[in-house]
C-alpha cells in the first residue's frame, strides 16, 4: 500500500502500446525530484470499471485516451465547465472524502494544449479548417478553433449522421488551408495509412497538424511536407496537455461541477 505522501497517476485507454505518456511523465517526475510519485499505463477493455481501477491502483489522477474520452463521462462524478462544453474528458482528478469514498472529476487539457501549440503557426489566411474525425479529440480541436475565431467543418466517414460534417469524397472541392487530423489513422502500428486522400491538393499555404505523435512524422505529414506545407505533429500538444494535467493533479482539491 502506498503511503499518504505518495501519488500514483496513470493513463487509461484500450490499447496503449503507442503511448509516450509514461516516458514523458517518468522523466518529468524524475526531473522534479518527486521520487514518491508513479505513472503507469492502465489498459481497460471498457470504461465502466474506472472506479475499480482507481481504487486498485490508488490513483490520485489519470489521463484518458482513445476510445474513452467521451464514453468515460457517465462514470465520473463531475466535470468542469470547459470539458462539459467540449463533450470530452482527457484528465481526471481523484478526490477522496473523509469517509474514504472517491469522487472522480473530469477536465479537458487537450483543447488548451492544442490551442497553445497551434497559435504560433497560424497565418492570416488560416481562417477556416477541416477537422478529420468526429471523436473526443476532434471536439477538443473544435473548441480551440472557436476560441481563435477559426471556422471549421468536421470530416466524417458517416456525414449523413452529422449535419456539421462533410464526407471524405467531398474533400476534392475543399478550400480550407488548415487541416487537422484528429483520427487515429496513421498511428503506430498502421504507419502506412493516411487520413488525407488527396495529397496533391496540398500547397505551401496549407498548415497540416496531426495529433498523432507516433510515428513522427506520419505519412500525412510527410506528404504535406513534400508539397511545402507547414506541418506539426502531436508531440508538443502531448507535452503541453500533460503539463496542464500535472498541475491539476498536484493542485488543491477543488472541483467545479457542470
Catalytic residues: 69
- 8 and 58 in contact (C-beta within 8 Å)? yes
d(CA 28, CA 22): 10
Which residue shows C-alpha cell 496503449? 16
Which cell numbers hold the place of 257? 461541477
- 119 and 126 in contact (C-beta within 8 Å)? no
Phi and psi, residue 229, nearest 5°: -75, 155
| 106 strand-pairing partners | 79, 92
Find all residues with CB under 8 Å of 172, minimum gap 6, and list them. Answer: 198, 201
DSSP designation for 2 = -
- 238 and 21 in contact (C-beta within 8 Å)? yes
Residue 149: burial class (beta carbons within 10 Å; 0-12, 13-18, 19+): exposed
- 19 and 62 in contact (C-beta within 8 Å)? no
- 234 and 211 in contact (C-beta within 8 Å)? yes
- 241 and 24 in contact (C-beta within 8 Å)? no
Amino acid at each position: 500500500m502506498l503511503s499518504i505522501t505518495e501519488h500514483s497517476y496513470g493513463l487509461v485507454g484500450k490499447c496503449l502500446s503507442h503511448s509516450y505518456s509514461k516516458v514523458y511523465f517518468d522523466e518529468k517526475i524524475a526531473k522534479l525530484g518527486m521520487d514518491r510519485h508513479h505513472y503507469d499505463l492502465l489498459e481497460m477493455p471498457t470504461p465502466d470499471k474506472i472506479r475499480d481501477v482507481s481504487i486498485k491502483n490508488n490513483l490520485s489522477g489519470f489521463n484518458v485516451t482513445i476510445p474513452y474520452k467521451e464514453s468515460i463521462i457517465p462514470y465520473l462524478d463531475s466535470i468542469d465547465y470547459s470539458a462539459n462544453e467540449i463533450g470530452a474528458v482527457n484528465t481526471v482528478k481523484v478526490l477522496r472524502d473523509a469517509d474514504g469514498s472517491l469522487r472522480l472529476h473530469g477536465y479537458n487539457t487537450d483543447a488548451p494544449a492544442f490551442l497553445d501549440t497551434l497559435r504560433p503557426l497560424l497565418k492570416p489566411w488560416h481562417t477556416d479548417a477541416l477537422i478529420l474525425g468526429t471523436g473526443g479529440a476532434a471536439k477538443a480541436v473544435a473548441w480551440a478553433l472557436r476560441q481563435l475565431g477559426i471556422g471549421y467543418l468536421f470530416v466524417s466517414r458517416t456525414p449523413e449522421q452529422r449535419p456539421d460534417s462533410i464526407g471524405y469524397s467531398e474533400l476534392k472541392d475543399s478550400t480550407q488551408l488548415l487541416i487537422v487530423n484528429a483520427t487515429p489513422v496513421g498511428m503506430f502500428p498502421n504507419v502506412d495509412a493516411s487520413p488525407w486522400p488527396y495529397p496533391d491538393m496540398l500547397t505551401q499555404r496549407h498548415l497540416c497538424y496531426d495529433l498523432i505523435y507516433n510515428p513522427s512524422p506520419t505519412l500525412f505529414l510527410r506528404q504535406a511536407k513534400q508539397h511545402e506545407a507547414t506541418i506539426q505533429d502531436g508531440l508538443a500538444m502531448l507535452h503541453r496537455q500533460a503539463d496542464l494535467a500535472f498541475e491539476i493533479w498536484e493542485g488543491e482539491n477543488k472541483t467545479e461541477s457542470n
